[in-house]
Amino acid sequence: MFDAPRELVFRCMLEPEHLTHFWGPAGVSTPLETIKVDARPGGVFETVMVNDSDGARYATRLVRRDRGAGADRVDRARLRRDNDLDLP
């Protein structure tokens, strides 16, 4: 639960300008330029987290599959990992 309006929480998961501030564990940053979000069916969610101490990079690429739920919901079950990601 978050003490924030539903619309704001939803935007925080879809807008790179918000994700860059909290995506990843402590000691890791996710630069804004490495975040790509397209929530449409077939769209991708891509991030590259960077270890703050040694610069190691960790890429994630998920592709959204449509299962008929509303467009105002983020459902991790509709994302699948795509291991063919080339790091920028």
- Distance between CA atoms of 79 and 47, rounded to whole angstroms? 14
Highest mean pLDDT range out of 1-5, 28-32, 61-65, 78-82?
Answer: 28-32
Residue 87 lies in a domain: no
Note the pLDDT of residue 72: 52
pLDDT in tens, 27-38: 999 999 999 999
Torsion of CA 14, 15, 18, 22, to 10 degrees: 40
Residue 18 lies in a domain: yes
Residue 39 lies in a domain: yes
Instruction: Report, as an integer, the average pLDDT of 21-50.
Output: 92
Task: Flag whether the pTM goes above 0.95.
Answer: no
Domain that holds residue 46: 6-66+73-81
> The domain that contains 29 carries what CATH number?
3.30.530.20
Residue 61 lies in a domain: yes
The residue whose two tokens read 């790509």 is: 36
- Distance between CA atoms of 62 and 36, rounded to whole angstroms? 10
pLDDT in tens, 65-76: 766 555 555 555
Count CB atoms within 10 A of the CB of residue 18. Answer: 17
- Distance between CA atoms of 74 and 14, rounded to whole angstroms? 9
